[in-house]
Amino acid sequence: MPGPIELLTANLLTPIVLAFALGMLATVLRSDLRIPDALYESLSIYLLLAIGLKGGIALAKADPAQLVLPAIATLGLGIATPVWSFAILRRLGRLRQIDAAAIAAHYGSVSAVTFVASLTFLDRVGVPYEGFVTALVALLEVPGIVVALLLAHSRHGAHWSEALRELLTGRSVVLLVGGLTIGLLSGPDRFKPVEPLFVGLFQGALVLFLLELGLVAARRFRDVRAAGPFLVGFAIVMPILHGVLGAALGTAAGLSLGGATVLGVLAASASYIAAPAAVRIALPEASPSLYLTAVLAVTFPFNLAIGIPLIHQVARVLQGG
């Protein structure tokens, strides 16, 4: 088993992490590097659909009984994490109700890119994981956002139905759930003709996507000071706590070391696709400089560089490794 330093090095030297770092460096150096909007949109559609398809294929081959306990653990995380995140932000951070709910929505949901980065890390260190973990992404995408919006909607009921529709019909949910369904119905044999596109090219597309996210995250650095030390601390501490809890629940649910690591990473991640879209509709008075800065400028880089190997180490300890 590789030690903590080897795990950290294995994660930091992956092409996707280095591409993210290149994007941040380009922004800091004020380079004119830009990813065209059309390419970014195309990459996000491709990645989400590919994740769903591969998860559907894995579901087609999986024993449904193996999925029950992990699914229950995942749904429990999706309901509980936004509740205590909201309470901490309100009582300790003394944020407005609407801002606390907006941030809680992001930390109750999931980052598909962080999920893929965790799979890349596990592949690199040679740790297997259950194929159905992609289904857990789809399960965790929506509940946390819905719960957080409920916490804020006592005076924003007029926006509720529109926000829920936006959430359930948004591209991330449609592509993930749709991809899962297509993969499940088509099965491994019928998937083979398109496998080179959705499996063979996946890592290359992810490198380009992370390059753009590095550019975006670095632009948010200027807002970190305005967000304040509490929110910066929250954006680091909560992913660690959620990650430990996710790894513990994954272990208790019978997942392997790799599967428990993935569930921990899912719990530690924060949404920057589905949650911002829903919050923009449901909570228009919430401050984007708070929730986007916390997610993109702090949590996402932290998880990408340190959080994933840290959670894997925790999962390994929990499983007696």
Give the Å distances, CA to CA, from 9 to 3, 4, 51, 128, 172: 10, 9, 25, 19, 31
Q: What are phi and psi of 93, to 5 degrees?
A: -85, -15
CA distance 111 to 237: 17
Of 234, 238, 285, 230, give the one whose Cα is nearest residue 96.
285
CB 153, CB 282: distance < 8 Å: yes
What integer pLDDT is reported at residue 158 of this predicted model?
45
Instruction: Provide the token pair at 275.
Output: 């949650």
Would you write out the chain's pLDDT as a tens digit for each of its 321 residues? 666 677 777 777 788 888 888 988 998 899 998 889 898 888 888 888 888 888 788 778 777 888 899 999 999 999 999 999 999 999 999 898 889 999 999 999 888 889 988 998 999 889 999 988 888 887 887 788 888 877 876 544 445 566 667 667 777 778 878 888 898 899 889 999 999 999 888 889 888 988 988 888 788 777 777 778 999 999 999 999 999 999 999 999 999 999 999 999 999 999 877 788 677 777 778 888 788 888 988 899 999 889 999 999 999 999 886
CB 308 within 8 A of CB 11: yes
Q: How far apart (Å, rounded) are the C-alpha atoms in residues 305 and 294?
A: 16
Residue 318: the pLDDT is 94
CB 321 within 8 A of CB 309: no
As given in the structure block, the two tokens for residue 229 are 């030390």
- Give the tokens for residue 248: 């513990």
CB-CB contact of 60 with 128 (8 Å): no
Sorted by where each begins, the domain ranges of the chain are 35-318
Distance, in Å, from the CA atom of 121 to the CA atom of 105, rounded to the nearest integer, reads 27
Q: The CATH number of 35-318 is which of 3.40.50.300, 1.20.1530.20, 3.30.70.100, 3.90.1150.10?
A: 1.20.1530.20
Task: Write down the pLDDT at residue 161.
Answer: 64
